[in-house]
Amino acid sequence: MLSASVDEHGEKKRCGLVAIVGRPNVGKSTLLNALVGQKISITSNKAQTTRHRITGVRSEGAAQFVFVDTPGYQTKHSAALNKSLNKTVVSVLTDVDIVLFMVEAGKFGADDAKALQLMPKGKPVILIPNKLDEVHRRSDLLPWLKSMQDKFAFAEFFPMSAYSTNDIERLLGVLKPYLPEQPWFYDAEMLTDRSERFLVSEVIREKLFRLTGDELPYNVTVVIDQFAEEGTMRRIAATIIVERDAHKGMVIGAKGQQLKRIASESRQELERLLEAKVFLEVWVKVRSGWADSEEHLRSYGYE
Ligand SMILES: Nc1nc2c(ncn2[C@@H]2O[C@H](COP(=O)(O)OP(=O)(O)OP(=O)(O)O)[C@@H](O)[C@H]2O)c(=O)[nH]1
């Protein structure tokens, strides 16, 4: 007989929260998407793309892993936005079962050190040296791994590449024994607790960053003004909020070509994601100083 506490082979069910922490750009979102097996968190080569706490769920055999993505730990800026980001990291860590502390293999800078200071005591913290594919001789990594051992009492070291499906499967195997034996929190089909509306704003933000390259500052946000189901169609209206007129120009581009591309690529991806026809309108607005105002942050959904 099946029950909530055992799987079909009689194995006790396990379920737990796994946080992924590290400085910006180490590959946290890439890892989360690979672990869940679907794009949940946006990725780009621009630091600081993840702002929200995002959970992704992977259910396999008797185990359910609930992954929590955290914003890159911020050290360079002091605006209210960054304070809010760091607060999110700390609050995520207080209620997790395992922490994956991610760095780039062979590297450990001042920003990594600051992120390491946030690690909770008394919880298993696994060191994930990522981007192993960029390390030419693995043996070069040994002295570095030794030096990492002196910095923190890591439960395990797991050098890997978030691009390797083999590594992802092995990592799930390593994490499983750390999950407490308890009934699952979510249905087996569940992938994320984020709303479609949220995923829509993330898709648009990703296209925006991918297409505008490095010139656009990170404090650009996307607000969904309308998200309506009309039969088999979704009608979506979104506003990209920037700080300056110059940024508005970058987003719109010559003769509006850039904004057109952002909207068109977003629409195509949204049609795949939502499995529906999508009618998408995207506007751009200037709202100067929003990233410094606590009130504005709240009104756009940041904690
Ligand atoms: N070579 C290599 N690149 C990787 C690997 N994992 C991630 N990347 C790349 O590293 C960059 C940053 O990855 P993200 O997943 O966006 O990093 P993040 O830590 O979530 O960054 P923030 O959202 O800014 O905190 C992207 O260009 C990824 O494609 C890896 O295993 N190997």
Q: Which of 290, 274, 12, 65 is nearest to 188 (CA)?
A: 65
Shortest-distance atom of ligand 1 to CA 161: 31
Q: Is the CB of 134 under 6 A from ligand 1?
A: yes
- Residue 162 pLDDT more than 70? yes
Ligand 1 centroid distance, CA of 230 (Å): 37
Which of 29-43, 51-65, 110-124, 126-140 reaches the highest mean pLDDT? 126-140
Q: Are 50 and 267 in contact (CB under 8 A)?
A: no
Ligand 1 center to residue 161 CA distance, Å?
Answer: 10
Percent of the chain with pLDDT over 70: 76
Asked if residue 50 has its Cβ within 6 Å of ligand 1, the reply is yes
* 12 appears as a binding residue in the annotation: no
Cα distance from N-terminal residue to C-terminal residue, the chain = 44
pLDDT digits (tens, 9 = 90+) for 218-260: 768 888 888 888 888 999 999 999 888 888 999 999 999 999 9
Q: Is pLDDT at 128 greater than 80 in this prediction?
A: yes
Using pLDDT thresholds of 50, 70 and 90, give the confidence band for residue 289.
Answer: low
89 in a known ligand binding site: no
Domain 196-299: top CATH class: alpha beta
pLDDT at 29: 83
Q: Which of 29, 209, 210 to mutate to test the pocket of ligand 1 (most atoms within 8 A of CB)?
A: 29
Note the pLDDT of residue 133.
95
pLDDT at 143: 94
What is the spatial distance between Cα 105 and Cα 51, in angstroms, rounded to a whole number? 24
Nearest-atom number in ligand 1 for the CA of 45 is 27
Q: Write the DSSP assignment of 173-240 as a string of letters.
A: HHHGGGS-B---SS-TT--BSS-HHHHHHHHHHHHHHHHHTTSS-S--EEEEEEEEEETTEEEEEEEE
Rg (CA), the chain: 20
Strand order in the sheet with 156-157: 54-60, 63-69, 14-21, 98-104, 125-130, 156-157
∠ Cα 297 215 84 (to 5°): 20
pLDDT (0 to 100) of residue 74:
46
Ligand 1 site, residue 157, Cβ cutoff 6 A: no
Burial of 8 (0-12, 13-18, 19+ CB in 10 A): exposed
In tens, the pLDDT along 3-58 reads: 567 777 778 999 998 988 888 889 988 898 899 876 555 554 444 444 445 467 88
Put simply, whether the predicted model's pTM sits higher than 0.95 gets the answer no
Is the pLDDT reported for residue 77 higher than 50?
no
Instruction: Output DSSP code: residue 63.
Output: E
In this predicted structure, what is the pLDDT of residue 154?
Answer: 96
Confirm or deny that 132 is annotated as ligand binding.
yes
Q: What is the pLDDT of residue 8?
A: 75
DSSP assigned state of 3: B
Using an 8 Å Cβ cutoff, are 31 and 24 in contact? no
As a whole number of angstroms, the distance between CA 203 and CA 198 comes to 9
Q: Is 25 in the pocket of ligand 1 (CB under 6 A)?
A: yes
Best probe residue, ligand 1, of 20, 21, 25, 107 (max atoms within 8 Å of C-beta): 25
Is 71 annotated to bind a ligand? Reply is yes
CA 184/CA 256 separation, integer angstroms: 48
Ligand 1 mean position, distance from CA 36 (Å): 16
Dist. CA 256 → ligand 1 center (Å): 30
| Domain ranges for the chain | 14-178, 196-299
Q: What is the mean pLDDT of residues 122-147?
A: 93
Average pLDDT, the chain: 82
Query: Is the pLDDT at 301 greater than 80, yes or no?
Result: no
Task: pLDDT band for 1, please (50, 70, 90 cuts).
Answer: very low
- CATH 3.40.50.300 is right for the domain spanning 14-178: yes
- Report the C-alpha gap between 131 and 162 in whole angstroms: 7
Q: Would you say 212 is a known binding-site residue?
A: no
**What residue owns the CA closest to ligand 1's atom 7?**
27
Evaluate whether 14-178 and 196-299 have a shared fold.
no
